[in-house]
């Protein structure tokens, strides 16, 4: 809607124009400071320019009123314009809130080590990435969702060792000595039992078969991870194995050229030349590539595919890796500005105001699957998307089980269900509703309609600012406006019933579309007639 109005004003005035949304709705739906930017060119006061411009809109069908206020132009949209846009949206629900952007983006997120089930820290980046993915695709971008499987290095060796020790201890009854940072938890016990059935006892005793066991366990853990993500409606297009990339290391080293040098038996990336704090080791003294080397090979693979943009979502503890990876990209001959790294902060959970107990199935972390079972996918996705990803998140799981206005996802779902229930009670059919005009409906209904039609701008802003929290904020605000309107206005039986139902249909469409972009399905019904709640 904002784009439509902006385009209309630019055609009429022949100037680039910036529209703002006044905080006080009494000033109108939109405002612009264009008179101030024209003052020097026209050698007039902004207030005189604004007065002259306002008078030029007297017969403009898009606006009910255009006013000059202290040099600003304030615009109130006409019933006719809102009605036409509402009718188009209801007749084209799949096209509503779609964008016309273009470009290919490779979005990499989650990418947790395949050594154990996902925990809530992984979940936050997963929800953030998937919501960004859905919004970007809605706006027209061609986005590939990728999971980078870190299946090389010490963590995989430790997985194999941990599983061997678990099998010898719990299944063979041996006394074993565990290393300080071994993997533990019920999932490991379950893997050991399955490994015993498939491979027999020797797989736990033979050190030469540790790698074989580790790679088998990695695949089983990935199955758990994929299922846990699917349970919260997250799916990937591609999975890239780190272990599969190292055959290309020699070629990538040659490509890095002068970006590498040898010192004290190690090979360094000269990343300080490209803005990093210091140079980084990429090959150890014993000839083994470091973790950074794997990242370099992987990003070379990415950039060879020719995407327009590369977005990585990493945990906040990886902040220090950004400069060194970007330096490598530059040495590889690519434009590092095409890589955007977004950080996801940690999550703290409470239960009845007290710290949530760790999962015995994981040993020392809170599992994503446990929280999904406790509060459901909808509540989990909503709360994980509800705050900026780069600030810490804390929430109480009990609050997200409540069926009242204190639970934001329940509050929003109830708004959608309330509209569907009201529509089912009314005597107007869909055709009557769509054909109705908005002339004569009250200002509160028009304001509600305007709010509902803002969804496209919210999605565009949320995606391009990478602030996915703006979508749940908007949906909660729209739900609040709906509940208040429902409480204040008796719709059924009103002489303009069809017109009011038309407004509510648009609100339902925006709620449903917005929830879908959060990976949440809108509820059609949540209560019996005598159980309806009053949210104001």
pLDDT(244) > 90: yes
- Which range (21-25, 132-136, 328-332, 396-400) has the least confidence? 21-25
% the chain with pLDDT above 90: 78
| Residue whose structure tokens are 């124009």 | 17
Distance CA 81, CA 268 (A): 63
Task: For residue range 454-463, list pLDDT tens digits in order.
Answer: 999 999 999 9
Based on C-alpha coordinates, what's the Rg of the chain?
A: 29
- Of the two residues 250 and 24, the one the predictor is more confident about is 250
* pLDDT band, very low/low/confident/very high, at 420 (cuts 50, 70, 90): very high
In 10 A of CB 151, how many CB atoms? 23
Q: pLDDT digit string (tens) for 177-196?
A: 888 888 988 899 999 999 99
What local confidence, expressed as pLDDT, does residue 530 receive?
A: 46
Strand 72-77, strand 63-69: pairing = antiparallel
Q: In what order do the strands lie in the sheet with 309-315?
A: 238-241, 142-149, 104-108, 309-315, 339-344
The residues that bridge with 262 in the sheet, in sequence order, are 267
For the cut 70, the answer to whether the pLDDT of residue 534 exceeds it is no
Domain formed by 2-77, architecture: 2-Layer Sandwich (3.30)
What local confidence, expressed as pLDDT, does residue 358 receive? 63
Helix-then-strand count for the chain, H and E? 20, 14
Largest CA distance in the chain: 92
Beta-strand pair 238-241/260-263? unpaired
pLDDT at 531: 58
For residue 125, name the pLDDT band (cuts at 50, 70, 90).
Answer: very high
Rounded Cα–Cα distance for residues 197 and 220 (Å): 14
Q: What's the rounded Cα separation, in Å, for the pair 83 and 62? A: 11
User: 216 or 318: which carries more pLDDT confidence?
Assistant: 216
Structure tokens at 258: 């002068």
Average pLDDT over residues 414-420: 96
Task: Name the fold adopted by 408-531.
Answer: Isoleucyl-tRNA Synthetase; Domain 1 (1.10.730)
Each domain of the chain, given as residue ranges in start order, spans: 2-77, 154-230, 408-531
The answer to whether residue 510 scores a pLDDT higher than 70 is yes
Q: What was the pLDDT predicted at 532?
A: 63
Range of weakest confidence among 65-79, 222-236, 264-278, 375-389:
65-79
Q: Would you state the pLDDT for residue 59?
A: 83
Tell which residue, 333, 271, 348, has the closest CA to residue 303: 333
Structure tokens given for 530? 């005598």
Whether the Cβ atoms of residue 321 and residue 314 lie closer than 8 Å to each other: yes
In the predicted model, is pLDDT for residue 133 greater than 80?
yes
In three-state secondary structure terms, 423 is helix
Question: Is the pLDDT confidence value at 445 over 90?
Answer: yes
Q: Which of 361, 378, 315, 381 has its CA nearest to residue 117?
A: 361
- 527 versus 168: which is more confidently predicted? 168
Model pLDDT, residue 3 = 86
């Amino acid at each position: 809607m904002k784009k439509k109005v902006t385009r209309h004003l630019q055609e009429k005035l022949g100037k680039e124009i910036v529209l703002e949304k006044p905080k006080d709705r009494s000033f109108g739906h939109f405002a612009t400071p264009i008179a101030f930017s024209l003052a020097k060119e026209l050698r007039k006061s902004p207030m005189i320019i604004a007065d002259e411009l306002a008078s030029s809109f007297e017969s403009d069908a898009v606006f009910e009123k255009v006013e000059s206020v202290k040099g600003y132009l304030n615009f109130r949209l006409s019933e006719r314009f809102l009605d036409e846009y509402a009718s188009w949206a209801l007749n084209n629900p799949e096209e509503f809130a779609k964008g016309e952007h273009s470009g290919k983006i490779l979005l990499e997120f989650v990418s947790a080590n395949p050594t154990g089930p996902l925990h809530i820290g992984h979940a936050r980046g997963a929800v953030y990435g998937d919501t960004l993915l859905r919004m970007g695709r809605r706006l027209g971008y061609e986005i590939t969702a990728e999971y980078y499987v870190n299946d090389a290095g010490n963590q995989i060796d430790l997985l194999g060792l941990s599983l061997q020790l678990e099998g010898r201890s719990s299944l063979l009854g041996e006394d074993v000595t565990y290393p300080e940072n071994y993997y533990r938890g019920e999932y490991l016990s379950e893997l050991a039992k399955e490994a015993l059935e498939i491979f027999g006892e020797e797989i736990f005793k033979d050190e030469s078969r540790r790698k074989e066991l580790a790679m088998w366990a990695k695949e089983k853990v990935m199955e758990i991870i994929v299922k846990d993500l699917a349970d919260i409606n997250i799916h990937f297009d591609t999975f890239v194995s780190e272990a599969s990339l190292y055959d290309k290391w020699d070629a990538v080293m040659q490509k890095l050229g002068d970006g590498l040098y040898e010192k004290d038996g190690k090979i360094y990336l000269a990343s300080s030349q490209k803005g990093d704090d210091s140079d980084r080791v990429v090959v150890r003294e014993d000839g083994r590539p470091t973790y950074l080397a794997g990242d370099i090979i992987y990003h070379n693979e990415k950039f060879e595919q020719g995407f327009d943009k590369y977005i990585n979502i990493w945990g906040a503890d990886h902040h220090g890796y950004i400069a060194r990876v970007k330096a490598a990209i530059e040495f590889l001959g690519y434009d590092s500005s095409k890589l955007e790294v977004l950080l996801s902060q940690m999550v703290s959970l409470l239960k009845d105001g007290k710290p949530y107990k760790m999962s015995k199935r994981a040993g020392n972390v809170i599992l994503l699957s446990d929280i999904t079972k406790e509060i459901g996918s909808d509540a989990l996705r909503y709360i994980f998307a509800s705050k900026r990803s780069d600030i810490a998140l804390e929430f109480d799981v009990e609050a997200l089980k409540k069926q009242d206005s204190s639970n934001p996802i329940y509050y929003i779902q109830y708004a959608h269900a309330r509209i569907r229930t009201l529509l089912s009670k009314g005597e107007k059919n869909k055709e009557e509703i769509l054909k109705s005009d908005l002339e004569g409906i009250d200002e509160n209904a028009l304001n509600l309609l305007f709010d509902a039609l803002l969804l496209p701008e919210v999605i565009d802003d949320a995606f391009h600012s990478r602030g996915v929290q703006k979508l749940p904020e908007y949906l909660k605000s729209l739900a609040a406006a709906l509940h208040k309107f429902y409480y204040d206005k008796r719709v059924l039986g009103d002489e303009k019933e069809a017109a009011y139902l038309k407004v509510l249909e648009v609100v339902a469409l925006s709620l449903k579309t917005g929830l879908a972009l959060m990976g949440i399905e809108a509820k059609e019904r949540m209560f019996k007639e005598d159980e309806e709640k009053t949210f104001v």
